[in-house]
Chain A
Amino acid sequence: MEHKGHCKDLLGMFSDYVDGDLAAEFCTELERHLAECENCRIIVDTLRRTVYLVQVTKEPALVPDDVRQRLYRSLRLDEFL
Protein backbone atom coordinates (compact mmCIF):
# COMPACT_ATOMS: atom_id res chain seq x y z
CA MET A 1 0.00 0.00 0.00
CA GLU A 2 1.89 3.07 -1.17
CA HIS A 3 -0.53 5.51 0.48
CA LYS A 4 -0.67 3.63 3.74
CA GLY A 5 0.62 6.45 5.95
CA HIS A 6 -1.78 8.94 4.46
CA CYS A 7 -4.70 6.51 4.77
CA LYS A 8 -4.15 6.24 8.51
CA ASP A 9 -4.21 10.02 8.82
CA LEU A 10 -7.55 10.20 7.09
CA LEU A 11 -9.36 7.32 8.83
CA GLY A 12 -10.57 9.56 11.65
CA MET A 13 -12.45 11.75 9.15
CA PHE A 14 -14.57 9.00 7.61
CA SER A 15 -17.30 9.07 10.23
CA ASP A 16 -17.88 12.83 9.92
CA TYR A 17 -17.67 12.47 6.16
CA VAL A 18 -20.48 9.91 5.92
CA ASP A 19 -22.58 12.21 8.14
CA GLY A 20 -21.93 15.08 5.74
CA ASP A 21 -20.37 16.80 8.72
CA LEU A 22 -16.78 17.22 7.56
CA ALA A 23 -15.39 20.73 7.05
CA ALA A 24 -15.12 21.66 3.37
CA GLU A 25 -11.32 21.83 3.21
CA PHE A 26 -10.98 18.30 4.67
CA CYS A 27 -13.71 17.05 2.36
CA THR A 28 -11.72 18.15 -0.67
CA GLU A 29 -8.57 16.49 0.66
CA LEU A 30 -10.41 13.29 1.48
CA GLU A 31 -12.24 13.10 -1.84
CA ARG A 32 -8.98 13.61 -3.72
CA HIS A 33 -7.56 10.67 -1.79
CA LEU A 34 -10.64 8.49 -2.31
CA ALA A 35 -10.41 9.02 -6.05
CA GLU A 36 -7.08 7.21 -6.07
CA CYS A 37 -7.29 4.82 -3.11
CA GLU A 38 -9.62 1.89 -3.58
CA ASN A 39 -9.15 0.53 -0.08
CA CYS A 40 -10.22 3.76 1.57
CA ARG A 41 -13.13 4.01 -0.84
CA ILE A 42 -14.27 0.55 0.25
CA ILE A 43 -13.91 1.48 3.90
CA VAL A 44 -15.97 4.65 3.42
CA ASP A 45 -18.67 2.81 1.42
CA THR A 46 -18.96 -0.01 3.95
CA LEU A 47 -18.88 2.44 6.86
CA ARG A 48 -21.80 4.30 5.28
CA ARG A 49 -23.59 0.97 4.82
CA THR A 50 -22.89 0.04 8.46
CA VAL A 51 -24.46 3.28 9.68
CA TYR A 52 -27.45 2.60 7.43
CA LEU A 53 -27.82 -0.97 8.76
CA VAL A 54 -27.75 0.27 12.35
CA GLN A 55 -30.58 2.66 11.55
CA VAL A 56 -32.82 0.22 9.69
CA THR A 57 -32.37 -2.65 12.16
CA LYS A 58 -32.95 -0.46 15.21
CA GLU A 59 -35.48 -1.88 17.62
CA PRO A 60 -38.44 0.31 18.56
CA ALA A 61 -38.49 1.91 22.00
CA LEU A 62 -41.01 -0.35 23.68
CA VAL A 63 -41.66 -1.32 27.26
CA PRO A 64 -43.14 -4.79 27.76
CA ASP A 65 -46.54 -4.57 29.47
CA ASP A 66 -45.40 -6.27 32.67
CA VAL A 67 -42.37 -4.00 32.99
CA ARG A 68 -44.58 -0.98 32.39
CA GLN A 69 -47.06 -2.06 35.05
CA ARG A 70 -44.34 -2.61 37.64
CA LEU A 71 -42.82 0.76 36.74
CA TYR A 72 -46.10 2.60 37.25
CA ARG A 73 -46.76 0.80 40.53
CA SER A 74 -43.28 1.52 41.84
CA LEU A 75 -43.79 5.22 41.04
CA ARG A 76 -47.28 5.18 42.60
CA LEU A 77 -48.75 6.02 39.21
CA ASP A 78 -51.16 3.06 39.11
CA GLU A 79 -54.11 5.32 38.36
CA PHE A 80 -52.53 6.23 35.00
CA LEU A 81 -52.03 2.65 33.83
Chain B
Amino acid sequence: MSNGPSTIQPEDFSLEALRSGDRVEFSRLVEVYSGKLYRLGLKMLDNPQDAEDVLQEAFFKAYRGIKNFDGRSSLSTWLYRIAVNEALMFLRRKHPETVSIEEPDGDDPDDQEPLQIVDWCCLPEEELMSSEVRSRLDKAIRKLPTKLRVVFLLREIEDLSTEETAQALNLTETAVKTRLSRARMRLRDELSVYFGERLGGKVYGA
Protein backbone atom coordinates (compact mmCIF):
# COMPACT_ATOMS: atom_id res chain seq x y z
CA MET B 1 0.00 0.00 0.00
CA SER B 2 1.19 3.47 -0.79
CA ASN B 3 0.07 6.67 0.81
CA GLY B 4 2.40 9.00 -1.01
CA PRO B 5 4.92 11.21 0.71
CA SER B 6 2.94 12.85 3.48
CA THR B 7 5.37 15.75 3.73
CA ILE B 8 4.29 17.22 0.40
CA GLN B 9 1.77 19.99 0.90
CA PRO B 10 -1.23 19.81 -1.41
CA GLU B 11 -0.45 23.04 -3.22
CA ASP B 12 3.27 22.47 -3.30
CA PHE B 13 3.34 21.89 -7.03
CA SER B 14 4.77 23.88 -9.87
CA LEU B 15 1.84 24.75 -12.11
CA GLU B 16 4.27 25.85 -14.76
CA ALA B 17 5.91 22.43 -14.82
CA LEU B 18 2.54 20.64 -14.80
CA ARG B 19 1.23 22.77 -17.65
CA SER B 20 4.31 22.10 -19.74
CA GLY B 21 3.72 18.35 -19.35
CA ASP B 22 6.59 17.69 -16.95
CA ARG B 23 6.43 13.95 -16.16
CA VAL B 24 8.26 14.19 -12.84
CA GLU B 25 5.93 16.85 -11.51
CA PHE B 26 2.87 14.99 -12.75
CA SER B 27 4.06 11.77 -11.09
CA ARG B 28 4.32 13.70 -7.81
CA LEU B 29 0.76 14.86 -8.25
CA VAL B 30 -0.37 11.29 -8.85
CA GLU B 31 1.58 10.09 -5.82
CA VAL B 32 0.00 12.65 -3.50
CA TYR B 33 -3.60 12.43 -4.74
CA SER B 34 -4.11 8.86 -5.92
CA GLY B 35 -4.94 7.57 -2.42
CA LYS B 36 -7.49 10.31 -1.82
CA LEU B 37 -9.17 9.98 -5.20
CA TYR B 38 -9.26 6.19 -4.93
CA ARG B 39 -10.91 6.39 -1.50
CA LEU B 40 -13.45 8.87 -2.85
CA GLY B 41 -14.21 6.58 -5.80
CA LEU B 42 -14.63 3.58 -3.52
CA LYS B 43 -17.02 5.44 -1.25
CA MET B 44 -19.03 6.82 -4.13
CA LEU B 45 -19.26 3.64 -6.18
CA ASP B 46 -18.93 0.75 -3.71
CA ASN B 47 -16.99 -1.15 -6.32
CA PRO B 48 -13.18 -1.46 -6.42
CA GLN B 49 -13.03 -2.00 -10.18
CA ASP B 50 -15.15 1.08 -10.89
CA ALA B 51 -13.10 3.08 -8.38
CA GLU B 52 -9.93 2.04 -10.17
CA ASP B 53 -11.37 3.04 -13.55
CA VAL B 54 -12.41 6.41 -12.15
CA LEU B 55 -8.95 6.89 -10.69
CA GLN B 56 -7.24 6.25 -14.03
CA GLU B 57 -9.71 8.30 -16.01
CA ALA B 58 -9.49 11.25 -13.59
CA PHE B 59 -5.71 11.44 -13.91
CA PHE B 60 -5.91 11.09 -17.70
CA LYS B 61 -8.25 14.05 -17.79
CA ALA B 62 -6.13 16.00 -15.34
CA TYR B 63 -3.02 15.45 -17.45
CA ARG B 64 -4.77 16.54 -20.60
CA GLY B 65 -6.70 19.38 -18.98
CA ILE B 66 -4.02 20.97 -16.79
CA LYS B 67 -3.16 23.40 -19.60
CA ASN B 68 -6.61 24.90 -19.17
CA PHE B 69 -6.58 24.98 -15.36
CA ASP B 70 -7.35 28.61 -14.58
CA GLY B 71 -6.33 28.62 -10.92
CA ARG B 72 -9.69 29.96 -9.77
CA SER B 73 -9.94 27.04 -7.39
CA SER B 74 -7.01 25.24 -5.79
CA LEU B 75 -5.35 22.42 -7.70
CA SER B 76 -6.69 19.95 -5.17
CA THR B 77 -10.29 21.18 -5.55
CA TRP B 78 -9.90 20.98 -9.31
CA LEU B 79 -8.75 17.34 -9.07
CA TYR B 80 -11.62 16.42 -6.78
CA ARG B 81 -14.00 18.04 -9.23
CA ILE B 82 -12.69 15.90 -12.07
CA ALA B 83 -12.87 12.72 -9.99
CA VAL B 84 -16.39 13.46 -8.75
CA ASN B 85 -17.59 14.08 -12.30
CA GLU B 86 -16.06 10.81 -13.46
CA ALA B 87 -17.67 8.92 -10.59
CA LEU B 88 -21.04 10.55 -11.30
CA MET B 89 -20.77 9.44 -14.91
CA PHE B 90 -20.24 5.86 -13.75
CA LEU B 91 -23.24 6.12 -11.45
CA ARG B 92 -25.43 7.56 -14.19
CA ARG B 93 -24.52 4.69 -16.45
CA LYS B 94 -25.55 2.18 -13.78
CA HIS B 95 -28.50 3.99 -12.23
CA PRO B 96 -29.63 6.66 -14.69
CA GLU B 97 -32.74 7.46 -12.70
CA THR B 98 -31.17 8.12 -9.32
CA VAL B 99 -28.24 10.40 -9.96
CA SER B 100 -28.59 14.11 -9.98
CA ILE B 101 -26.69 16.44 -7.73
CA GLU B 102 -28.08 19.54 -9.43
CA GLU B 103 -31.63 19.27 -8.17
CA PRO B 104 -32.56 22.04 -5.75
CA ASP B 105 -32.80 21.42 -2.01
CA GLY B 106 -36.44 21.79 -1.20
CA ASP B 107 -37.98 20.29 1.86
CA ASP B 108 -36.49 16.92 2.41
CA PRO B 109 -39.45 14.54 2.83
CA ASP B 110 -37.32 12.44 5.14
CA ASP B 111 -36.99 15.38 7.51
CA GLN B 112 -40.61 14.73 8.44
CA GLU B 113 -39.83 11.27 9.67
CA PRO B 114 -39.55 10.71 13.41
CA LEU B 115 -36.16 11.35 14.83
CA GLN B 116 -34.70 8.67 16.98
CA ILE B 117 -34.15 9.81 20.53
CA VAL B 118 -31.68 7.52 22.19
CA ASP B 119 -29.07 8.99 24.46
CA TRP B 120 -26.08 6.95 23.38
CA CYS B 121 -23.58 9.79 23.42
CA CYS B 122 -22.00 8.77 26.68
CA LEU B 123 -21.49 5.10 25.98
CA PRO B 124 -17.95 3.92 26.67
CA GLU B 125 -15.50 4.44 23.84
CA GLU B 126 -14.95 0.70 23.27
CA GLU B 127 -18.65 0.17 22.66
CA LEU B 128 -18.82 3.15 20.29
CA MET B 129 -15.82 1.93 18.33
CA SER B 130 -16.87 -1.69 17.89
CA SER B 131 -16.62 -3.27 14.47
CA GLU B 132 -20.39 -3.53 14.41
CA VAL B 133 -20.77 0.22 14.86
CA ARG B 134 -18.26 0.80 12.07
CA SER B 135 -20.15 -1.45 9.75
CA ARG B 136 -23.49 0.23 10.60
CA LEU B 137 -21.90 3.60 9.92
CA ASP B 138 -20.47 2.39 6.61
CA LYS B 139 -23.82 1.02 5.61
CA ALA B 140 -25.54 4.27 6.55
CA ILE B 141 -23.07 6.23 4.40
CA ARG B 142 -23.70 3.91 1.46
CA LYS B 143 -27.45 4.44 1.87
CA LEU B 144 -27.19 8.23 1.57
CA PRO B 145 -28.65 9.56 -1.68
CA THR B 146 -25.91 10.63 -4.08
CA LYS B 147 -26.43 14.36 -3.67
CA LEU B 148 -25.97 14.10 0.09
CA ARG B 149 -23.27 11.47 -0.06
CA VAL B 150 -20.93 13.37 -2.35
CA VAL B 151 -21.07 16.47 -0.12
CA PHE B 152 -20.58 14.34 2.97
CA LEU B 153 -17.55 12.58 1.46
CA LEU B 154 -15.81 15.77 0.38
CA ARG B 155 -16.46 17.58 3.68
CA GLU B 156 -16.06 14.81 6.25
CA ILE B 157 -13.82 12.24 4.62
CA GLU B 158 -11.66 14.34 2.30
CA ASP B 159 -11.63 17.37 4.63
CA LEU B 160 -12.47 19.96 2.01
CA SER B 161 -13.82 23.22 3.37
CA THR B 162 -17.38 24.34 2.68
CA GLU B 163 -16.04 26.75 0.06
CA GLU B 164 -13.88 24.11 -1.65
CA THR B 165 -16.75 21.63 -1.69
CA ALA B 166 -19.02 24.27 -3.22
CA GLN B 167 -16.42 24.94 -5.93
CA ALA B 168 -15.83 21.24 -6.63
CA LEU B 169 -19.55 20.53 -7.00
CA ASN B 170 -20.66 23.82 -8.48
CA LEU B 171 -23.07 24.38 -5.59
CA THR B 172 -23.65 27.33 -3.30
CA GLU B 173 -22.08 27.20 0.15
CA THR B 174 -25.59 27.22 1.61
CA ALA B 175 -26.46 24.09 -0.36
CA VAL B 176 -23.28 22.40 0.86
CA LYS B 177 -24.16 23.18 4.48
CA THR B 178 -27.76 22.03 4.08
CA ARG B 179 -26.72 18.74 2.49
CA LEU B 180 -24.00 18.09 5.05
CA SER B 181 -26.53 18.71 7.79
CA ARG B 182 -29.04 16.29 6.25
CA ALA B 183 -26.39 13.64 5.70
CA ARG B 184 -25.17 13.89 9.29
CA MET B 185 -28.71 13.77 10.67
CA ARG B 186 -29.42 10.62 8.69
CA LEU B 187 -26.27 8.94 9.97
CA ARG B 188 -27.14 10.01 13.49
CA ASP B 189 -30.58 8.50 13.08
CA GLU B 190 -29.21 5.20 11.77
CA LEU B 191 -26.78 4.95 14.68
CA SER B 192 -29.57 5.82 17.09
CA VAL B 193 -31.70 2.99 15.72
CA TYR B 194 -28.79 0.65 16.29
CA PHE B 195 -28.05 1.85 19.82
CA GLY B 196 -31.76 2.01 20.55
CA GLU B 197 -31.99 -1.73 19.94
CA ARG B 198 -29.37 -2.14 22.64
CA LEU B 199 -30.45 0.54 25.12
CA GLY B 200 -34.19 0.92 24.50
CA GLY B 201 -35.35 4.30 23.29
CA LYS B 202 -38.30 6.43 22.44
CA VAL B 203 -39.21 7.91 19.11
CA TYR B 204 -39.66 11.64 18.86
CA GLY B 205 -42.69 12.95 17.02
CA ALA B 206 -44.34 9.54 16.86
Contact = CB atoms under 8 A, between A and B. Distances in A.
Interface of A: 1, 4, 11-12, 14-16, 39, 42-43, 45-51, 53-65, 67-68, 70-72, 74-75, 77, 79-80
B133 interface: yes
B117 A43 contact: yes
A15 B55 contact: no
Contact of B3 (A55, A61, A72): A61
Interface of B: 1-3, 23-24, 26-27, 30-31, 34-36, 38-39, 48, 52, 55-56, 59-60, 63, 111, 115, 117-122, 128-129, 133-134, 137, 156-157, 177-178, 180-181, 184-185, 187-188, 191-192, 204-205
B56 A74 contact: yes
A61 B36 contact: yes
B120 A49 contact: yes
A54 B152 CA distance: 10
A71 B56 contact: yes
Contacts of A65: 1-2
Nearest to B1: A62
Contact of B156 (A49, A54, A75): A54
Contact of A60 (B3, B121, B122, B133): B3
